Structure 1
């Protein structure tokens, strides 16, 4: 016997699940619903099967192929335009030369098809409709039969006043080929609305067989979720893949579950998924293959498709997530919310119940979403943030992404030029660097493999090796969700300009790539030891003016271990190196005092000065450290002009005036800050070793310990606060602030800076997050707090009024 699977449905009522996926391919416990249909047919000996396809047909063809993996033979019949249920089946008329069965590829059932076929033959029917009894028949075709089972009346999708039975049409039919005589090829024709009324009018034998068992047409989003919960509850006889590790808890191959996970059945976890410590998977949870659930996340009565990332402390409470969805830390997806393919739910955002988010959308951090996102809302065309391009490893930052980004970058650089590529010591960044290099070569760009170094070393090498640019790839310190950043450098080693960022973004989103001749393909070029070059230039810079100092040093990057001992030996320092178990600032201060050291430093994973301790064991606070770095530049006789970020304290102008130097305020981004302090490829901002050498040189020249240098800086207070604000409201808030500050002294270098007699306040829209950064500088902490509070309250009150 043969069968036809109708698999042309768009599944409009299931959107956004079916935005990129035909309804027969919507997964149930990690397998397409149509797979269960094929297995049911095979169970009853039906292995020669036609499949009618129309919406996204290649998705179905590519997955099932010829059916051999399922032990059946599949023959595809494609509709060029919708022909109705009967019209689509007529396309397979030549194949259907005997009694055949018609079944939907997007419904779930375990009916005994053998009994239905036997009934059909017993009644010698031309058509038998398989029926079932339901509680609510309004969405189905209601059928009435006589005592012999012959159909005497039916009605498509009645209202309650028209309901005369609870027995409905399941869309499963056993038919004789002669039914094709009743309608023409290529014309829309429906079984229920057209063919069956004709057969009744012609007094042909039309029977209804009431089947026992489970059936769901998965007609809406609630039924889609419920079908899987019914599978987990064993209400439907189907093959659930994976091992049952506990009652009604199935896991696929390669699944890793931390021992400290709370797992309550029924549940299903697809193959190669990772469930981290502290996660709560409560009842009726389905996790698709290759997904990762990070620490302390919580899922309950939720369905996840494949390759999803649920960040730490995120909650999915009765939601449905399609493929490759990222839910960031602290976010909540509520009951009956549905999130389409490739969406990004931001940090601590809240998706309210019942919301639908269509594919590719972004819900910004700290946002409450109370309406569905369908068209054109926040599909970002921005890649770059404050540090470069960053994302979560193997979720957003993949080898494919790196290759595509490199092709975009390579397209805007001249052919036959060279960039440097470096990375930190983690294996994953090395893999990303290799992918990046390959695509640069394909764009006609050569690469210098700088190897595993810090960003300061990479900046220095890009400057001295005459590169047109550079790339440094590193893990972000302190990021528990394994975030990676790709830093782009210009020929001077500076972060690239905003204009260059926009060119790369445009090329990336337009999928631009350069077609070059084979002879123009870039090469991996031999490169000098960039660490040694950096070390030699540091020694030249230091000269003999830093001997005799004792430094307590802690660092976390093994690569620095090959540089620091050489510097110490050559410059006559006594280094007390702490072990690589991270010390707190107070522990570092204790070591400095007990050792009688001149200072103590903690360098982070990228060689940046993270903590500074004076000879008296005082921890230098962050805002004072900024002033100290400027003071180091002030005391350098070669410097006449200082470039200082707009958010640095006013005390800098006082100090500069004392030493006869000029201050130029810049934007607060890293490139603007660094541009005015370049020193032969070295930069005081971000380079801890360069800063240390300069500090010791000044201390030696002035015969002044670090504590006295800091003591010479007048007291000041600099505070920083943050105010949440959706991206869509940032512009109106800035307009409001401009209106409110009319008549006051205002600077617009970067954000809005209001000058007061007692200090200043800076309101700066954050370039990466939906927040405002509010800086306040005053003569003391109380003044700074008052200034900050005035403007944070102003923003919050305006937003409250605007949303009423």
Structure 2
């Protein structure tokens, strides 16, 4: 049985992180989200994977190649234009001859879920959809089931006041090839969601809910990257690369990850919940807490970085302060309160010395912030911020 992984989305809500990479390639615990999904798929025993790619697909193809380095065989299907998850599944049709499993490429789960869905399909031939319980069901597809655990209806992102269950679509399915005809027969005025297909398909074909209570991690908003990163770092000793160098007078706590050729200088402190990508230099007396620092970034002496996501090739000058903590964030015209977010800094940003960034701020790709500036609000890409 083949596994189809949907990885074509752009992830606009995760900008500026997704300005130069597709959402599934956003890193957590020093691996792209999609790498965690591929590893779980291989661990579940799938020997053939179809990756459906679209936005900046070369980033995914260059990273995974033909799958040989991952212990599997990977082929690619292309979605262009991107017309929703239902259409994305349809693009894999030429690679599918028999039953198959489908999953989202940006949600992290245990390999046991894939094994259960595959094995149940092999035994029963039923159409299956994994479901799980979450704290904020209004962010997802809320699932209503009957007494026999059959899916009655899936409602995408309903208002919180209209929800009477915490059960949601977990993003893992098993189908037969007949699902392709069902997709073609389901009309939609815009993008076609796979859940729209299943609502229609379920009118004549039972869809069984498979309840899952294991690890399930999702990134819907930029700040979601931080708790997912921390959860994946786990309780173990720091998994530092052999080429990482930590000064004897620096402190690196457990539940951190250091990439290749990382340099941590004297009196720097790397606290729990931090992943640092390849070729990152952390200067003396720097403090980093609850953060993702991507590759090729430099953080100079005396800077304090908390609750932050810092993309690749960022230069942070000395004595920069990102204080972190809880704040209110406006994302795509929606107000989110009590969000723990220091800042999201895009790729190729340069920040001068003694800059302070207000909690919740975003700095767009390629922007420049002059020495001594105070960044009080989010700024777009390729912007120059000066003092005063």
Q: So what's the TM-score if we normalise by structure 2? A: 0.90
Q: Which residue pairs with 1:208 in the alignment?
A: 209
Instruction: Report what 1:759 is aligned to.
Output: none
1:349 is the counterpart of 2:346: no
Indicate yes or no: 2:195 matched with 1:192: yes
Higher relative contact order (CA 8 A, sep 6+): 2
Contact 2:317 2:352 in 1 (8 A): yes
With 37-46 and 155-164 compared, the bigger mean Cα shift is at 155-164
Could you tell me which residue of structure 1 aligns to residue 224 of structure 2?
Answer: 223
Is the helix fraction higher in 1 or 2? 1
Change (3 A) 1:185 1:88: farther
Aligned 8 A contact 1:119 1:209 in 2: no
Q: 1:310 aligns with which of 299, 309, 323?
A: 299
Unaligned stretches of 5+ in structure 2?
A: 325-340
CA distance in 2, matches of 1:105, 1:52: 9
Matched, 1:367 2:373: yes
Distance 2:158 2:237 in 1: 38
- Matched residue SS, 1:21: coil
1:522-544 per-residue CA deviation (whole Å, 9 max, x = no partner) reads xxxxxxxxxxxxxxxxxxxxxxx
Provide the secondary structure at the position in 1 that maps to 2:20: coil
User: For residue 638 of structure 1, what is the aligned residue in structure 2?
Assistant: none
Residue 159 of structure 1 deviates from its aligned partner by 1.5
The reply on whether 1:275 has 2:281 as its aligned counterpart is no
Matched, 1:115 2:116: yes
In the other structure, the counterpart of 1:5 is 5
Residue 339 (1) aligns with residue 339 (2): no
Distance (whole Å) between structure 2 residues aligned to residue 53 and residue 34 of structure 1: 11
Change (3 A) 1:147 1:271: same
Pairwise CA distance, 1:185: 9.4
Aligned residue in 2 for 1:289: 278
- CA distance in 1: counterparts of 2:313 and 2:381, whole angstroms: 19
**Structure 1 residue aligned with 2:90:** 90
Matched, 1:166 2:166: yes
Q: 1:191 Cα shift? A: 1.2
The alignment status of 1:27 with 2:27, answered yes or no, reads: yes
The answer on whether the counterparts of 1:260 and 1:278 sit within 8 Å (CA) in structure 2 is yes
Residue 25 of structure 1: CA displacement?
0.9
Residue 302 of structure 2: SS of its match in structure 1?
Answer: coil
Alpha carbons 2:132, 2:167 under 8 Å: kept: yes
Q: TM-score, normalised by structure 1?
A: 0.44
**Partner Cα distance (1:146, 1:209) in 2:** 13
Residue 2 to residue 44, structure 1, CA distance change in 2 (3 Å) = same
Match of 1:68 in 2: 68
Name the residue aligned to 1:325: 314
Distance 1:115 1:80 in 2: 32
Q: CA deviation at 1:376?
A: 4.6
Tell whether the 8 Å contact from 1:216 to 1:223 is kept in structure 2 after alignment.
no
Compute the displacement of 1:261 (Å): 0.7
The alpha-carbon deviation at position 178 of structure 1 amounts to 0.9
Mapped to 2, the partners of 1:303 and 1:8 lie a distance apart of 23
Structure-to-structure mapping, 1:278-677, within 5 angstroms:
278-335=267-324, 336=341, 337-378=343-384
Cα distance between partner residues in 2 of 1:263 and 1:39:
27
Q: Distance in 2 between matches of 1:254 and 1:327?
A: 23
8 Å CA contact retained: 1:111, 1:214? no
Normalized per residue, the structure richer in strand is: 2
Contact 1:319-1:334 within 8 A present in 2 as well:
no
1:138 Cα deviation after fit: 0.6
The reply to whether residue 258 of structure 1 matches residue 247 of structure 2 is yes
TM-superposed deviation, 1:149: 1.8
**Structure whose CA Rg is larger:** 1
> Following TM superposition, by how much is the alpha carbon of 1:118 offset from its aligned partner in structure 2, in angstroms?
2.3
Could you say what the CA RMSD is over the residues aligned between the two structures, in angstroms? Answer: 1.8
Long gaps (5+) in structure 1? 235-246, 380-725, 730-804
Give the C-alpha shift of residue 293 in structure 1.
Answer: 0.6
Tell me the distance in 1 between the aligned counterparts of 2:95 and 2:315: 45
Secondary structure in 1 aligned to 2:213?
A: coil
Partner Cα separation in structure 2 for residue 158 and residue 185 of structure 1:
25
